Amino acid sequence: MSLVANTGKLAGRTLFITGASRGIGKAIALKAAKDGANVVVAAKTAEPHPKLPGTIYTAAEEIEALGGKALPCIVDVRDEKAVQKAIDEAVKKFNGIDILINNASAISLTDTPNTDMKRYDLMHSINTRGTFLASKLCLPHLKNSNHAHILNLSPPLNMNPFWFATHVAYTMAKYGMSMCVLGMSHEFKPFNIGVNALWPMTGIATAAIEMLTGDVSTSRKPEIVSDAAYYMLCQDPKTYTGNFAIDEDVVKKAGVTDLTPYACDPSNIGNLLPDFFLDVPGSPSAQAAKKEGKPEGQIPTLFAAIGKSLSPDLVKKTQAVYQFNVKGKEEGVWHIDLKNGDGACGQGEPKSPPDATLTMDSGNFSDMFAGKLKPATAFMMGKLKIKGDLQKAMKLEKMMKSLQKK
Listed residue (169, 202, 173, 196) closest to 184, CA to CA: 196
Q: How far apart are CA 219 and CA 128, in angstroms?
A: 26
Q: What is the dihedral of CA 2, 48, 87, 128, to 10 degrees?
A: 80
**122 vs 127: CA distance, rounded Å:** 8
- b or e along 180-193 (b: 16 or more beta carbons within 10 Å of the residue's beta carbon)? bbeebbeebbeebb
Which is catalytic among the residues 120, 170, 175, 231?
170
Distances in whole angstroms, Cα of residue 111 to Cα of each of 48, 106, 126, 266, 391: 32, 15, 19, 34, 17
Strands 332-338 vs 344-347: parallel, antiparallel or unpaired: antiparallel
Q: Are 323 and 333 in contact (CB under 8 A)?
A: yes
In angstroms, how far is CA 396 from the centroid of its own chain? 20
Can you name the residues that pair with 322 across neighbouring β-strands?
336, 356
**Whole-Å CA distances, 25 to 227, 298, 339:** 12, 45, 38
Element (H, E) at 73: strand 69-74
322 is catalytic: no
Residues recognised as catalytic: 170
